[in-house]
Structure 1
Amino acid sequence: MEIKNQPKLTNSILWLMTISTGLVVANNYYNQPLLGLMAKDFNVKESQISAITMCTQIGYAFGLFFFIPLGDRFKRKKLILIDFIFVIMSLLAMAVSKSVVLLFPISFVIGFTSVIPQLFVPMAASLAQPEERPKVVGIVMGGLLVGILGSRVLSGYVGDVWGWRTMYYIAAIIMIILFVLIYFKLPEVYPKFKGTYKQLMKSLFELFKKDPDLRMASLRGALAFGSLSAFWTPLVFHLEKNFQLSNGAASNISGKFGLVGACGAIVAVFIGKVIPKYNKKTLLTLFSALTLLSWFIFYWGGFSYLGLIVGVILVDIGVQATHITNQSIIFSSNPEASNRVNTIYMTSYFIGGSIGTALAANAFQYYNWFGVVFTGGFIALLLMIFHLYHIKSQKQVS
């Protein structure tokens, strides 16, 4: 396959990718503030309905592993537009579903198809000049993080006022608008990998095997997102049970915590600019410490709004800054395989998130908020331990 000249990364293209990244990734997170409303609508237990979030994250991980590598093999714009069709169909299916049993496979499909942001992130990194790459990744990741946090605010409000199904109708309309904009505005990016799909998938394992920094970044990402997911998934049930709020009010307030967590998105953009100036290992130690500290705050102040606010600021900054630093490391060391290394990293990331979600949902059911704190805190402690061990082992080798 002939490799044609790649387009330049203009500001308009960068912002189209950034905004699209935020709006598409939001599809994965609309459900979190809506879980209480869904549980009431279908008359099921909290731990059962929480599996919707886990199915979405597992679906996202599968989409990352099996779909995103195709970005190194086929034209990316074409892949993105095809995927958008399935995103729209899955959102509409969620909105009209009358059976709680169907919500789980549909949520899996929503996660599987909403992986478009992970085509945009390496696409932006590959089009940027090397010295601009951390900043560009930071900007696109900022859009992704705003989408994650803003989705909770929007769905919490919409669910409280119009019901949870309305949110999915709105999401489908947003995706249709994006499809049109991308069709006319996004340039085509041609692939660099010329092998078969089997060879493409085989190369994932080869990359993982040969690159210790990629392996460590994947583990850090999985543990960081697992810790973050342990907070967000049970939050709406914590507000209902321990703050004596109604389903609608808990959904609304849970969503508004996304505004507080926006600090993480702001920091992600800032981190992208300062990464080249500081030692990445030192930065990652600081970010891991912030993540662990947040769970001490949740322990002492988790039954007050102030404690939750301080804790969510710290955990979002710690996790999102870890995430952006990890991606800067893996893209810099493997620029010719940006989609594949991103696939390995983000698959690990969302597997960690799904595990954190499942563990925290069950911990809340049996041990209330302190079960959640122990779960999230233990995952954060593992993050710190493995990171420090990696630094120590590297010093011994050198």
Structure 2
Amino acid sequence: MGRGTRLVLAVVCAVAVAGVYAGQPVLGPMGTDLGMARDSVGWLVAVGQLGYLAGLVLLVPLGDLLDRRALVAGHLGVLAVGLAVTAVAPVAWVAFGGLAVTGLSAVVVQTAVAYAAALSPPHERGRNLGVVTSGVVVGILGGRVVTGAVADLWGWRGGYLALAVSAGVLGVLALTALPADVRDRGRGYGRVLRSLGRLFGQPVFLGRGLIAFFLFASFGAFWSGMALPLAAEPWRLSEGQVGLFGLAGLAGALGAARSGRWGDAGHAGRVTGVALVLLVGSWLVIGQLGWSLVLAAVGVIVLDFAVQAVHVSNQHTLTSAYPDRTSSTIGGYMVFYSLGSAFGAAATTALFDSAGWPASTALGAGLALCALATWALTRRTTSRRERHLVGSG
């Protein structure tokens, strides 16, 4: 896979995932503008995640049947529509509709990741996944910076409109810059969906999926809730200033880009365990946000390093284990991601409203501990199988 292809796929991931998470730094003004109660604004993120969940099950498996280049372009076109509807929504239910469509089509990220895995020789799969997945990190974290800055100038709607234009332009670029990807259609859509369902009974898949659920629930507990204490006393930061926290997270996550190469060397299991210990520790530092922004920023760097390292290791292990159905495998794995993110987003805002940031911190730390416990409990039964599958991939 050439450098140009990696770059285009990484940018596709960045723009698509930014659309799902664009509301996080502007939840307060967005909810107020749409007439929502403060304890329900987390649903502005959760609805997108639920749409994402539907797309993972219904759309991502199409990548095992159809030309992924055409799928990428088509999904980006629908994504542009969903973002535009959100940008002009006069009331909450219209915004929810736009966000659901945005989440549904943002699964172009998984089509792009599976495409990268399919194009990669086994000894470079982890490296290429690390590069392409870095686009996801740029979108999740860097998108917050851009959205916050645009919100300071033109309001929260301006950020969604800018993303809509970007998605439309990128869809046209994908048709011309990506190689064609003719797929074998002999299996049929129904057969592919049944194959996806059977994955949930596989120990390697289920173990990595449960880790992802708790991992991204912890991730969502921070990034969906942090705007609320930062906008309150004693900090009272603007949307743009809140968005700058994305730079700290971006630095940490990009620092984990080499985790794909560690997976190529056969260390995916060990990387996962060490990163999850770091994730738990990061919450001890993030809990100091009430009196120190510097310590909170350090915690964010560690948190996002840990999340990205585990995420890349998970995908490397699974695409090596199931190389003949990468789209279905990535789509199924990301079901756990989507459910975890939606849970974390909804739970952290409700807890903050009733018990403040300490309760949200306890939630995030507890979810991180659950991820670590899941890794420890499943490692003995799956590590040998993972090493065999990766070694034979």
Aligned partner of 2:219 in structure 1 is 228
Structure 2 letter corresponding to 1:77: R
Aligned to 2:256, the other structure's residue is in SS state helix
Matched residue, 2:341: 353
Name which of 78, 98, 102 aligns with 2:90: 98
Do structure 1's residue 322 and structure 2's residue 310 form an aligned pair?
A: yes
- Separation in 2, partners of 1:396, 1:256: 42
Quick check: 1:243 aligned with 2:243? no
Counterpart in the other structure of 2:152 = 160
Q: Does 1:340 align with 2:331?
A: no
Which deviates further from its counterpart, 341-350 or 194-203? 194-203
Q: Distance in 2 between matches of 1:196 and 1:264?
A: 41
Given residue 58 of structure 1, which amino acid in structure 2 is its aligned partner? L
| Structure-2 residue corresponding to 1:214 | 205
Q: Which amino acid aligns with 1:122?
A: A
1:30 maps to 2:18: no
Alpha-carbon separation, structure 2, partners of 1:392 and 1:128: 29
Residue number among 93, 106, 109 corresponding to 1:114 in the alignment? 106
Structure 1: how far apart are the matches of 2:54 and 2:286? 32
C-alpha distance in structure 2 between counterparts of 1:108 and 1:142, whole Å: 24
Closer, same or farther: CA 354–183 of 1 in aligned 2, 3 Å = same
Unaligned residue ranges in structure 2 (runs of 5+): 386-393
Alpha-carbon distance in 1 for matches of 2:25, 2:232: 14
RMSD: 1.8
Please state if 1:138 is matched with 2:126.
Answer: no
Match among 255, 268, 275 for residue 263 of structure 2: 275
CA displacement at 1:299 relative to structure 2: 2.3
TM-score (norm 1): 0.93
Structure 1 position 244, deviation (Å):
4.3
Counterpart-to-counterpart distance in 1, 2:171 and 2:9: 12
Structure 1 segments, 4+ long, off by >6 Å, are none
Question: 1:83: Cα distance to partner?
Answer: 1.8
Residues in 2 aligned to 1:162 and 1:395: alpha-carbon distance in whole angstroms: 51
1:19-71 deviation line (CA, Å, top 9, x unaligned):
22212221111111111111232343222222110101111111111100011
What is the percent sequence identity of the aligned residues? Answer: 29
Amino acid aligned to 1:359: A
**Structure 1 segment 1-398 matched on structure 2, within 5 A:** 9-192=1-184, 194-209=186-201, 211-245=202-236, 249-277=237-265, 279-393=267-381
CA deviation after TM superposition for structure 1 residue 97, in Å? 0.9
Taking the aligned partners of 1:125 and 1:221, their CA distance within structure 2 comes to 19
Matched residue pairs, number? 386
Q: Where does structure 1 lack aligned partners over 5 or more consecutive residues?
A: 1-8
Q: Is residue 56–residue 112 contact of structure 1 (8 Å, CA) maintained in 2?
A: yes
Is the contact made by 2:215 and 2:367 (CA closer than 8 Å) also made in structure 1? yes
Letter in 2 for 1:208: F
Deviation, 1:278, is 5.2
> Distance between the aligned counterparts of 1:205 and 1:43, measured in 2?
40
For the residue of structure 1 that corresponds to 2:66, the secondary structure is coil
Contact 1:143 1:265 in 2 (8 A): no
1:264-306 CA distance string (max 9 Å, x none): 3312321112223353222111111011111111224543201
Report the Cα distance in structure 2 between the residues aligned to 1:129 and 1:197, rounded to whole angstroms: 26
| Deviation by residue 1:345-378 (Cα, 9 ceiling, x = unmatched) | 0111111111111111111010100110111111
- Following TM superposition, by how much is the alpha carbon of 1:204 offset from its aligned partner in structure 2, in angstroms? 0.7
- Give the deviation of 1:208 after TM superposition: 2.5
Q: Judging changes above 3 Å, is the alpha-carbon distance between structure 1 residues 394 and 234 closer, same or farther for their aligned structure 2 residues?
A: closer
- Cα separation, 1, equivalents of 2:382 and 2:112: 32
TM-score (norm 2): 0.94
Q: Secondary structure at the match of 1:268?
A: coil
Could you tell me how far 1:192 is from its partner in structure 2? Answer: 3.5
Give me the whole-angstrom Cα distance separating, in 2, the residues matched to 1:244 and 1:309.
Answer: 14
3-state SS of the aligned residue for 2:299?
helix
Q: Report if the CA contact (8 A) 2:224-2:349 is conserved.
A: yes
Q: CA deviation at 1:243?
A: 2.9
SS of the counterpart of 1:242?
A: coil
| 2:218 alignment partner AA | S
CA contact (8 A) 2:213 2:341 kept: yes
CA–CA separation in structure 2 for the residues paired with 1:279 and 1:17: 25
Change in Cα spacing, 1:178 to 1:128, as seen in structure 2 (3 Å) is same
**Alpha carbons 2:288, 2:296 under 8 Å: kept:** no
Once residues 200 and 364 of structure 1 are traced to their aligned partners in structure 2, the CA distance between those partners, rounded to angstroms, is: 42
